[in-house]
Chains A and B, each alone.
Chain A
Amino acid sequence: MGRKSFNTKTFADTIVNTFNRYKLQVAISVIFLVLWLIFFTMNPKGFSEPATYAAITSVAPFTIIPALSLTYVIISREIDLSFPSVMALGGWVLAVTWRALGPTPIGVILALLAGLIAGLLNGLLVTKCRIPSLIATIGTMFLWRGVVLVATEGFSIPLGKFRGTPIFQVLVGRIGGIPMQMVWAITIGILLWVFLNFHKFGAYIYYTGDNRDAAKMLGINTSKVLICVFMLHSVIAAFAGILVTLEMATFWPALGEIYLLKSIASVIVGGTPVTGGIGTVFGTFIGGLILELIETGILAVGVTGFWIRLVHGLVIIVALIAQVSIREREIKRMRTIMGIG
């Protein structure tokens, strides 16, 4: 009998734990749906048209893709402010290579390689030179932007003639009306989600952010983990830079700048606290979608674009309040269950 009641309890625990584990993700999805409903009610016609969604999904990936890997950085209790410059670096390397060699995968590979080097530099500055990531990545943010500015002398590089080439189609073409960049965002999101939750690397990212001393004491090479996280993030940022460059069919030296705060906000709205140790890729994805939905939605309902930042601000604050309240309730609930005062 004892055995039976024990199993039932464990089963109930598992269900409750599973629900509680995803409570934040549910909350963020609800915020997304509520916003969508508001916009839909205000402009039912506009929000019934596929063109509206095509607009959202063609630009949202540029915020979402770097935000996805930034989630890894923030979970490991670090920050990276250099990724918009790395996006520009990636876009520039691609533009220059394609102008010289034509639309070749070599351009993509070289751009990703540039991202890898930028990430390695961030990782080394943080782990070997022991510079706090906030400071180190401000340095590299200026460095890579500076490199691009010096190299281009501030001029844009047009790439319109490569439109329609196969590689262009694979990167930013349309598949059944869906922009390829959205397919890339979903693919990267799924991959990062899988690695974070089911791979040793993901576990080490969590431990590095949650209790770095403990992780070190238990033999985890946290420096190596951080270097890998910074490299991964910069490679993905460079990839996002390639997509932006190709979607606009132009490289321009200020590329990426607008994504700095939007991508960070996506991670935070998505439920990953800056204190590290916890966080989800799914939350970031929805967080990014929310910010982009607001941008398109505000314009679609016919108010001026000046409202965008205001609504962004309100939604960020509402999301943060919701997160804090969910976490506090959870602590209270668990303490009651565990019988701790």
Chain B
Amino acid sequence: MQGLKYIVETRNLVKRFGDVIALKGINFKVRNSEIVGLVGDNGAGKSTLVKIISGVYTPDEGEIYIKGQKFRRLTPQKAYELGIVLVHQERTLSENHAIWRNIFMGRELTGPFGFLRIRDMRNTATKLLKEIGLKAMSADTPVKYLSGGYKQGVQIARALCFEADLVILDEPTIQLSISEVQRVLEYVKELKKRGKSCIFISHNIYHVYPVADRFVLLDRGKIVAEFMKADLTPEDLSHIMVSIARTGKIPVEYEKINLIHSSQE
């Protein structure tokens, strides 16, 4: 039963790159319909962790449970089939092609003999774009002409279209203007409204804070703290992050709300 509570759970994940240990025994969970803010400095292991969950990297030790099913390793295709969609700045788009083609990329709707149901895909894409607030955009527009925020929007529309269960957003707001960031945060709220789970990676506390339910803080390959959003303000979170960066520890006054310590002790 416990497996069903979590969409993803990792146990003692270890990942080494040569002599460097990128992840040192990570126990990480995402509940159904939960948005987890995964924060930490450069090199903390955030991207390595999500790359293992999305099948890009193979862990050296440990296990991954997706919807309660145990895996030693995943491939990107397998992860995708299991409903995990990675949204990355420009990385998973075919830039020269229309928005509707990108939304259905790899899961095209086809009729007899594998011919594309172009009208159906275009209509669905147009509807989706409208739903996530891109209504002025024609589904025929090639993706390369879109701004960074809209490109994230197309990838999120794809995740919605495929009924993805877990959407991983790897620095979705990096290099975006203020209005574009707001747009991306709206997309994330839309995902939440539809009951999707999300891992939101960001350097910027003020981008993650408004949308996340829980924060997981990574530092040098370890989860050092976990907080519920209700327990702290963005300023608290920022203060904790600075302290971790300087001393490697969280300030003592926050220890009692740190879910890691309260659960382990």
Q: Within 8 Å CB of B176, what residues of A?
A: none
Q: Please pick, from B101, B115, B142, B144, the residue contacting A198 in the complex, using a CB distance under 8 A.
A: B115
Minimum CB–CB distance from B4 to chain A (whole Å) comes to 25
Which stretch of B35-43, B102-110, B206-214, B248-256 is in the interface?
A: B102-110
Interface with B: A164-172, A207-215, A248-256, which one?
Answer: A207-215
Q: Which of A200, A201, A214 has the most CB of B within 10 A?
A: A214
- Tell which of A8-16, A44-52, A179-187, A237-245 binds the partner: A8-16
Stretch from A258-266, A299-307, A332-340 that touches the partner: A332-340
Residue pair B93, A214 in contact (C-beta under 8 Å): yes
| Interface hits, A295-313 → B, CB 8 Å | none
Q: Chain A residues near B140: list those with CB within 8 A.
A: 13-14, 17-18
A224 contacts chain B at the CB level, 8 A cutoff: no
Q: How far is the CB of B185 from chain A (nearest CB, A)?
A: 20
Q: Does A1 contact B (CB under 8 A)?
A: no
Of chain A, the residue at the smallest CB distance from B110 is: A200
Q: How far is the CA of A229 from the CA of B113 in the complex (A)?
A: 18
> Count the B residues whose beta carbon is within 8 Å of the partner chain — how many?
36
Inter-chain contacts of A219 with B (CB < 8 A): 76-77, 80-81, 106-107
Q: Answer whether residue A129 sits at the interface, using C-beta atoms and an 8 A cutoff.
A: no
Q: Which chain A residues lie closer than 8 Å to B86 at the CB level? A: 217
Complex Cα gap A211–B96 (Å)? 9
In the assembly, what is the distance between CA of A201 and CA of B114, in Å? 8
How many positions in chain A have a CB within 8 Å of any CB in the partner chain?
33
- Would A210 and B96 be within 8 Å (CB), given that A199-B115, A338-B146 are in contact? yes
Complex contacts, B106 vs chain A, CB 8 Å: 207, 215, 218-220
Residues of A within 8 A of B147 (CB): 338-340
In the complex, A199 Cα to B146 Cα: how many Å?
A: 26
Task: Identify B105's interface contact among A18, A199, A214, A278, CB under 8 A.
Answer: A214
Q: Are B145 and A203 in contact (CB under 8 A)?
A: no
Q: Which of B76, B105, B108, B114 has the most CB of A within 10 A?
A: B105
What is the distance, in angstroms, from A9's C-beta to the closest C-beta of chain B?
7
| B241 shortest CB reach to chain A, Å | 30
Contact call A277/B76, Cβ cutoff below 8 A = no
* 19 A-B pairs with C-beta separation under 8 A: A9-B136, A10-B126, A13-B140, A14-B138, A17-B140, A17-B141, A199-B113, A200-B116, A203-B108, A211-B92, A211-B95, A214-B93, A217-B80, A217-B86, A218-B80, A219-B77, A277-B95, A338-B146, A338-B147
